[in-house]
Amino acid sequence: MNPILLSDQPLSIDACYAAVQDPACGGICLFVGTIRNHNKGKTVTHLDFESYAPMARKEMQRIADAAQVNHGLHTVCLHHRVGQLEIGDIAVIIAVSSHHRAAAFAGCEEVIDELKQHVPIWKKEFLEDGSYWVNARP
């Protein structure tokens, strides 16, 4: 089973790296998504992430398992934060390991793309002049 975490606590790059490290793997790819201070020409002050946790975890596991099969990956680790995040905070970490780098890169990209499209995690962006929900999905 690939390690999946949905948490209101800070995420650890070291923990994700350790979860996928294996002597048989020559490629480890990490994607770290952080909160930036701007979007569409406006200043962002912070973000708030909400989710339907039972379904989010299930979808995260499905995505990790599918990427593992699709790309022949050894392990996929997928961690995502919920709650209020400040500028610079880590919102998501994806770590994948494989025998070779090409599969690791492709698998990591598939996981982030699928996560953004299918996992019920909603992001509210707070600006200096208001707030709005970004890409809300059922």
Helix (H, G, I), strand (E, B), or coil: what is residue 95?
Answer: strand
Above 90 in pLDDT, residue 3? yes
* Alpha-carbon gap, residue 105 to 133, rounded angstroms: 30
Rounded alpha-carbon distances, angstroms, from residue 64 to 39, 87, 107, 124, 132: 28, 27, 9, 25, 29
* Fold of the domain spanning 4-131: Aldehyde Oxidoreductase; domain 3 (3.90.1170)
Confidence band of 33 (pLDDT split at 50, 70, 90)? very high
For the chain, which residues make up each domain, given as ranges?
Answer: 4-131
Identify the helix (H) or strand (E) that includes residue 67: helix 53-71
Above 50 in pLDDT, residue 137? no
Give the pLDDT of residue 57.
98
Give the pLDDT of residue 71.
98
Average pLDDT over residues 3-17: 98
Q: What is the pLDDT of residues 17-28, one digit of tens each?
A: 999 999 999 999
pTM as predicted: 0.94
Above 50 in pLDDT, residue 99? yes
